[in-house]
Chains A and B, each alone.
Chain A
Amino acid sequence: MDSLNEIKRDSLSALLAAGKRADGRGMLDYRKIAIQPAPLQNAEGSAIAAIGKSQVMAGIKFDIAEPFADRPNEGVLSTSADLLPLASHLFESGPPGDDSIELARVVDRGIRSANVVDLESFFIEDGKVLALYLDIYVLDHDGNLIDCSALASMAALLSARMPKIEGGKIIRGEFSGKLKVNEKVVSCTFGKLGEKVFLDPSLDEEKGMDARLTLSTTPSHLCAAQKGGWGTFLEKDILDAFDIALQKGKELRALLPG
């Protein structure tokens, strides 16, 4: 941790001890959230989500693919994330690093575990299925990219159209209705410094905090989780966070299209 981060940790620690946050939010408040569904037309699905000054675009493309050998009747879901160099002075061009792979995998797990997309409906014929490519495109980074990406991804899925398929091929620009979405999964990410737990860490808070906890939920269940950072959580922290995630999840779901 460099010296600037040490300073950030000290000031964050002092603020949290007084029950405050730098931008005046409560411990369990999100920053302002905005969602733009379907801003793109070439992609079969798309959305932009913003949490505070973080902005993430999600794009969906369908292709024809071969199914995995152990799941011959299921389509393919592939999620990746790009931390674009224009989004932050902290990001560099090049192949995906640890952070972007973790981001993509955490979002992917929530979607996959809750069967948000019915992969069996992607079956076309023996040896041929639809592949859904979900690309998370981080445009602006001010912390909590996981929740922002999860919102953009879910909004993109909800706005996605199914491609028209004829003779085993995709007819581009023609559609056979909306993508069927079974569940709206949202994620809530918490930061922890000392004993204090707070929701939706900003970039400054991320730099100062000890640990991060992401809980992805359906309206009733946990469907993915990820702990990050060198710090620790107690069992009670996680159980309390789960209650909050369910409650905040309702608010997040209400912002999603459809």
Chain B
Amino acid sequence: MSSAGKPALLVDGKRLDGRGLEDLREIKIVARVLNDADGSAYIEWGKNKILAGVYGPSECIPRHDQSLYRAVVRCRYNMAPFSGMEEHGKSGPSRRSKELSKVIKEAFENVIVLENFPKTQIEIFVEVLQSDGGTRCAAVTAAAVALADAGIPMKDLINAVAVCKIDGQMAVDPAKEEDNYGESDMPIAFSPRTGEILLFQMDGMLSKDEIEKGFALARKASEKIRKLQVEAIKKVYEEPREERFLVISK
């Protein structure tokens, strides 16, 4: 949201990377890329490259964290120290990473059928290998596919997308520059089946009209992302691979 050195974010209705206001960046999802994890998924979303792995349900340790009624969800969102353009990252979770881990966990607590698995834990691990703005949304989207790959029952296959305000206009899926120099950023996770909102954050300034416009943009984008998630899961079974491995596009 800083304005120093701000480039024009919209020129003739086109964004810096040539997209229109309603266009998502290119998204590629591959499920089942890891061997030991119970479920896994890799997502490329623009220049973001993110890996999600899921373990569970397994015995909840330590036992004082156990619930007699439902599974406990744990989530770790983490950025690799080499994921950014700038300097080498510090090791250990940042305050930002801890906050994102918490809101991502809470989104999934709503859709996983936790009451099926008392006294257990379900662990979601997200590693951002390369970041380019919008990592939390890509993380939620990949984690949902990893959970589905692990066969963990969910009420819905959720995903997330952000909307932003750039040069006075609402647009979907801000890239890094738009996030840095835009007027506002609003990440949202939807449950596509019920329309409920599971993750909601915002920073910047928006009017009521702009929020409504943002919801509409995000919902439309979320439907497109859901199709890609379903395709990724189907592909595991339609084109089974003997070996599991991570392949990263250049």
Contacts and interface: CB of A to CB of B under 8 A. Distances in A.
Contacts of A88: 36
B127 interface: yes
Interface in A162-189: 172-173
Interface residues of A, number: 40
Contacts of B127: 84, 86, 137, 139
Interface stretch (B80-88, B190-198, B205-213): B80-88
A135 B130 contact: no
A87 B88 CA distance: 22
B125 A86 contact: yes
Interface stretch (A14-22, A54-62, A231-239): A54-62
Nearest to A86: B53
Interface residues of B, number: 41
B248 A53 contact: no
A131 to B, nearest CB: 8
B34 A95 contact: no
Contacts of B243: 53
A144 to B, nearest CB: 14
Interface in B22-77: 34-37, 40, 47, 49, 51-53, 55, 58, 76
B238 to A, nearest CB: 23
B125 A139 contact: no
Q: Is the interface of B mostly helix, strand, loop or mixed?
A: loop
A82 B129 CA distance: 13
A222 to B, nearest CB: 30
B3 interface: no
Nearest to B49: A40
7 contacts: A38-B250, A42-B130, A42-B131, A43-B130, A135-B88, A137-B129, A142-B36
Interface of B: 34-37, 40, 47, 49, 51-53, 55, 58, 76, 78, 80-89, 91-92, 123, 125, 127, 129-132, 243-250
Given A39-B49, A40-B130, A61-B82, 5 more contacts: A53-B244, A63-B88, A85-B53, A85-B125, A140-B36
